[in-house]
Amino acid sequence: MNSPALCTKVEKGMKIISQRWTSLIIYQLLNGPHRFCEIEAALPISGRVLSERFKELEQEGIVNREVFPETPVRIAYSLTEKGRALEPIMREIEKWSHTWID
């Protein structure tokens, strides 16, 4: 019996948000722009891994990196329109977790 093929777009979407720390980074950014150090302090994640995730999310068009020409340079990360479109999904996971996870 043949199983139906998995939609490649769904597969890619799941791969993006299921990568370790990615959904939690997106969840943090739902509250607005944050600096690198704020996200790093909020999550038990190394700076190297956080940097990698931000680069990947930026390449996917989910996160925007804004550099402020100040001394010292200030960088803020925020969700793009594509990233904000994930909010209903993240909020539903949040509701599900409050209901079903001990």
Tens of pLDDT, residue by residue, the chain (102 residues): 565 667 888 889 999 999 999 999 999 999 999 999 999 999 999 999 999 999 999 999 999 999 998 888 899 999 999 999 999 999 999 999 999 998
In this structure, are residues 53 and 25 in contact, taking their beta carbons and an 8 Å threshold? Answer: yes
The phi and psi torsions of 63 (rounded to 5 degrees) equal -120, 140
- We find that the CATH architecture of domain 11-100 is Orthogonal Bundle (1.10)
